A and B are shown apart, each in its own frame.
Chain A
Amino acid sequence: MSLLELDHVDTYYGQIHILQGLSIRIEPGELVCLLGGNASGKSTTLKTILGIVRPRRGAVRVDGEDVTRRPTSYRIARGLAIVPENRRLFAPMTVLENLEMGAYLRGGGAKEDFERVYSLFPLLHERRSQLAGTLSGGEQQMVAMGRALMSRPKLLLMDEPSMGLAPILVEQNFEIIKQVHESGVAMLIVEQNANVSLSIADRGYVLSTGRLVLEGPAASLRENEELRKAYLGR
């Protein structure tokens, strides 16, 4: 049974047809990336998965359960979590409080949740009482990631994790992603940066104007002529 499944989903913003019959699925423990240029529907896919936008047709299933009509909080409780684009931390709150908010549905997080996050990001332990808004970009990315992990997700959604980070930080960031993935969390990475994401992913999907144009194992996608021309620039 797939951990997450989008089944022929059609999502609209008012009159505008964004996602057109999109079907993707993620198995437990997989690392999948969703590629696409601007306005290809990447973020809308994430919003549809989380229930921030509701699809007009099609179904969203988590662990085989149809959650299409369920609110976001229900889906988070079923094991989804997100690291939003641009991180979107709660700036005037401390690192600790940000982490606590990630585990809101679980009563603010148990001791071992904090310990797990701190062992992954030791820096966050030192900075726990610092305001999140005063951290640097790379540190904020850690908080965003830690915050998402606080809810003990089975599937972590990452929206453009490399955005706005220096190249060295992007590499660091993907190291962390790999590490989190190896601890058993399935991941869906939504990226414009096809090169890095394909290098760590198991499988990939390529979106274009709301339609799936390519899918397959990461290795074969990297060899794909069209994709290379469109995204890898080689």
Chain B
Amino acid sequence: MSDSTPHGLHEGPAVGQDEWVARHAERTLLRGGPLGTLEQRLRRVPWWAWLILFIAAFSLLPVFEQSGYVRRVSFDTVLYMLLALGLNVVVGWGGLLDLGYVAFYGIGAYAYALLDSDKFGIHLPTLVAVPLIVAIGAIVGLLLGLPSRRLTGDYLAIVTLFFLQLFQTITTNGDSINGHNVTGGPNGILRVDPLHLFGHDLAVQHGGVFAVSYLYVALGVFAIVFVALRYVNESRTGRAWRSLREDPLAAEAMGMPVNWLKLLSFGFGAAVAALTGTLFASLSASVFPLTFYFVLLITVYTMVILGGSGSQAGVVAGALIVGPMLEVLRDASKSRVVFFVALVGGLVLFSRRSRGLGIVALATLAVGFALHAILGAIDSSWIAGEHQGGFAGVVDHWVVAPAHLARWIQPASYIGLIAVVLLVTLVQGRLRLVLLVPTLYLAAFVWENVMLAKPEPARYIVLGLMLIALMILRPNGLLGERRVEII
């Protein structure tokens, strides 16, 4: 630049200067072009701005969407987001495998149902009941953690699993505890009070449609929980959790009260779950034991893992994806779209570097139409099965769907599909591409003829497939941070 600058001062390493700090900016890998600039701009947006934006967008949803179904699903999604945030404290921050998490959700719901219903004629004001229940949740969480003294992996998983089962047993058989009907047994507790805020009962229905007030209350609770947990994570306790997860022995050697810290994360998770439970019970106006069981547990875990455990934004994103998707998959016509998009998307992602992809796709299509035509010509009942909903026109001429499935076809095609998929993972090169054709077609066949007939298990199978694909492509979840290893 100027002549007075000693040669090389700004180019090469210099003596007496911390090079790493001086040249730190140069070393950061940045994406170029307008996309890169956008990325950097977006990174500078503070977290609270994202949160406000997100909540604002979410609250506008009912303005554009009048259907009670959509509103109800979005309310459930907010509950899922809350549950995922709570589980993230235990799993993502505390590093503990808690398989009894949904029992705390149940405890919150049942506690609300007992304290605010005609069951025992107790009707606590909402602003008394909810904090009380949150405290109960936290205390039960701490108590459950106490006996499992070392609170490590397998032991904790078994103890918490046992706790979930215990919760089930007590609620299911709680209709005659010493002759008293406490929990209503399998029939649950009915006619639970709605939330009562500022002198008004929050009506669940408004003119026969799901009222939006609950959605807003849930969003408000979500915002509070999100911010509170964020501050906890930024505190000394949050950093202690991180170091504990990173190196328990070193953390202990620094004098951190390891067990107490673990218990604390457990208590926080339980409190959030219990809080969510009160929202659920007040909206549903009833609670049943089986709501709080494995299916829900697996769903919430999927959200946390998919989104990236440890990242608050990540687990919220996980809940936002998985929650509505489970609803979409209930409907055969919509789930078909999801399935085929996922199939094609997965194919593209897995064989990015392969030129054979287009050939495989075309070959699969050709095989499908050919098979369909040939079988249809031999016996028209082979293709007489009905397809419904999206893509039906195309699928009708492509996937073979017999009018009446012979008994052996379902298990045979299913097992056959698993076998072919395994074979595809074993072979390499051209053979793999060739094998992909029957695999894809068989997958479509199984989907159309076996899965769609039973949407309930099919939803979870699709969810499982998504998880497997994600674990291969992004092992830390969508927004999870990559670990830095000491080398």
Residues of A within 8 A of B (CB): 50, 52, 71-73, 75-77, 82, 84, 87-93, 97-98, 100-102, 104-105, 107-108, 123, 126-127, 130-134, 140, 147, 151
Contact (Cβ within 8 A) B242 A104: no
Give B239's nearest chain A residue, CB to CB.
Answer: A97
Contact (Cβ within 8 A) B20 A93: no
With an 8 Å Cβ cutoff, the count of chain B residues facing the other chain is 25
Contact (Cβ within 8 A) B247 A90: yes
Bound Cα distance from A39 to B487, whole angstroms:
25
Known: A92-B481, A98-B243. 4 other contacts (CB 8 A): A52-B249, A72-B253, A107-B236, A130-B20
Q: A92-B481, A140-B486 are in contact. Are A126 and B251 (CB under 8 A)?
A: no
8 residue pairs from A and B, CB less than 8 Å apart: A50-B253, A76-B255, A90-B247, A91-B246, A93-B239, A105-B256, A127-B20, A147-B254
- B227 interface residue (CB < 8 Å to A): no
Q: A107-B236, A127-B20 are in contact. Are A82 and B253 (CB under 8 A)?
A: yes
Q: A91-B483, A127-B21 are in contact. Are A73 and B253 (CB under 8 A)?
A: no
Contact (Cβ within 8 A) A52 B18: no
Contact (Cβ within 8 A) B247 A100: no
Identify the interface centre among A72, A98, A101: most chain B CB within 10 Å of its CB: A101
Tally inter-chain residue pairs, CB-CB below 8 A: 88
On chain A, the residues within 8 Å of B256 by CB distance are 73, 101, 104-105
SS class of chain A's interface: helix, strand, loop or mixed? Answer: helix
Bound Cα distance from A150 to B388, whole angstroms:
68
Bound Cα distance from A127 to B20, whole angstroms:
8
- B379 interface residue (CB < 8 Å to A): no
Contact (Cβ within 8 A) B484 A126: no
On chain B, the residues within 8 Å of A108 by CB distance are 236
- B215 interface residue (CB < 8 Å to A): no
On chain B, the residues within 8 Å of A127 by CB distance are 18, 20-21
Bound Cα distance from A97 to B486, whole angstroms:
16
On chain A, the residues within 8 Å of B246 by CB distance are 90-93
Contact (Cβ within 8 A) B247 A52: no
Bound Cα distance from A82 to B251, whole angstroms:
11
Give A71's nearest chain B residue, CB to CB.
Answer: B257
Contact (Cβ within 8 A) A91 B253: no
Give B261's nearest chain A residue, CB to CB.
Answer: A104
Contact (Cβ within 8 A) B240 A104: yes
A13 to chain B, nearest CB (A): 15
A163 to chain B, nearest CB (A): 13
Bound Cα distance from A88 to B253, whole angstroms:
10
Bound Cα distance from A169 to B126, whole angstroms:
64
Contact (Cβ within 8 A) B239 A91: no
On chain B, the residues within 8 Å of A76 by CB distance are 253-255
Q: Which 6 A-B pairs have the closest CB atoms?
A: A76-B255, A133-B484, A88-B250, A90-B243, A73-B255, A90-B246
